[in-house]
Amino acid sequence: MVVLAAAPSVQGPPGLHGWPQAWLERRHLLERQHDRLEALLADLLSLHGPETPAWTAVDALACDGACRRLLWDLRLHLRLEERWLREADFARVNVDLICGLPLQTPERFRRTLELVQELRPDRVALFSFAYLPEQLPLQRRIAAGDLPSQRQRLTMLEEANQLLCGAGYEAIGMDHYALAGDGLAVAARQGLLHRNFQGYTTGGELELLGVGPTAISQFPHLFSQNQRDLKAWSAALEQGQLPVERGLEVRDPQVLERRELIRQVMCRFALELDLRRFAPEWEALQALAADGLVQLSRNGERGALRVTASGRWLIRTIAAVFDPQQRRCASGSRLV
């Protein structure tokens, strides 16, 4: 079992009891660094006026003398944070990147990638910005015209792939990269990769126990999420109750079978099917094959699927073929 701690910063020192001592000793330094980073971003914003959106403060600057000094300071603080995490004996340092942010361009994203190469984390997750204004009211303040075009998004993803793979990282699945010696890269080469709600992992057989507000737990037939409200979470614990807000139990054999098919598509990029049972899915895959996203072959009543290099960018679309609910009601963000 793996224990995941969610939102430790909102829990305060009592909620951090039992954390590694080396981490606790440096926590106040990291918090000061976080405050300093926020101050730096505020300074950067002030140089460009109130119209510059906060989420593009670093990337969108014209980089005059004052901006360059502040950006250098920001890079220095990021380097310090990574060094302290290493000194605190964290096994890995991971970096999450988001492609497709408002006002993001290939040139600005390239500068971000150069910083990642310099920091050299063990793993990099490259996510696509989910623009869902109908579901997320705060995103209604983002003008759709400020988002990168499909061509720009594809350019950024392709350049990220080239730069990271050229720097010693291996492409893992659809949105992860890992240094060649990292356990994730080893599992991918051995065909042992798994994927859960957090992304790609080497521990697909492990149960996940979430600790703290908003934390999600995963068991073979159950997902559950803790209270998102801190007061409700604390009150449940004081009453000796599990602070669970909602959950989903899955025992339907067909759902579990389809879940395994989706895992094979997203983790192994290959799949074999009984065409007598999955004829509608096989028919739907023909259109994806025509677009060059998959290669299909057939031997009697058995069908084989292999995801192409181009298809990995749209792996969610391919996997959705095996999810009837997704086919009926497509939702979520576009990858490119």
How far apart, in Å, do the first and last CA atoms of the chain sit?
A: 36
CATH 3.30.750.200 residue window(s) in the chain: 2-192
Pick the CATH number of 2-192 from 3.30.413.10, 3.30.750.200, 3.40.50.300, 3.30.70.270: 3.30.750.200
The C-alpha atoms of residue 277 and residue 258 are separated, in whole angstroms, by: 12
How sure is the predictor about 179, in pLDDT bands with cuts at 50, 70 and 90?
A: very high
- Cα 148 from chain centre: 19
Sheet holding 208-211, edge to edge: 2-5, 208-211, 216-219, 222-226, 244-249
H or E, element range at 316:
helix 315-319
Higher model confidence: residue 313 or residue 209? Answer: 209
How sure is the predictor about 193, in pLDDT bands with cuts at 50, 70 and 90?
A: confident
pLDDT in tens, 235-259: 999 999 999 999 999 999 999 999 9
Q: Do 123 and 92 meet the contact criterion of CB atoms below 8 Å apart?
A: yes
- Quote the pTM value: 0.67
pLDDT in tens, 102-138: 888 999 899 889 888 888 889 998 888 889 899 888 8
Tokens of 336: 């490119």
Give backbone dihedrals phi and psi of 95, rounded to 5 degrees, phi first.
-125, 130
**What DSSP letter does each residue of 126-181 carry, written as one string?**
EEEP---TTT-GGGGGS-GGGSPPHHHHHHHHHHHHHHHHHTTEEEETTTEEEETT
Tokens of 245: 């807000």
How sure is the predictor about 200, in pLDDT bands with cuts at 50, 70 and 90?
A: confident
pLDDT at 79: 66
Domain covering 253-328, topology: Arc Repressor Mutant, subunit A (1.10.10)
**What DSSP letter does each residue of 220-288 carry, written as one string?**
TTEEEEE-SSHHHHHHHHHTT---EEEEEE---HHHHHHHHHHHHHHHTSEEEEETTT-HHHHHHHHHH
pLDDT at 325: 80
Nearest to 110 by CA among 53, 62, 78, 158: 158
Asked if the model's pLDDT at residue 197 lies above 70, the reply is: yes
Q: Do 200 and 172 meet the contact criterion of CB atoms below 8 Å apart?
A: yes
pLDDT at 86: 66
CATH 1.10.10.920 residue window(s) in the chain: 253-328
Bridge-based pairing of strands 194-196 and 208-211 is unpaired
pLDDT at 114: 87
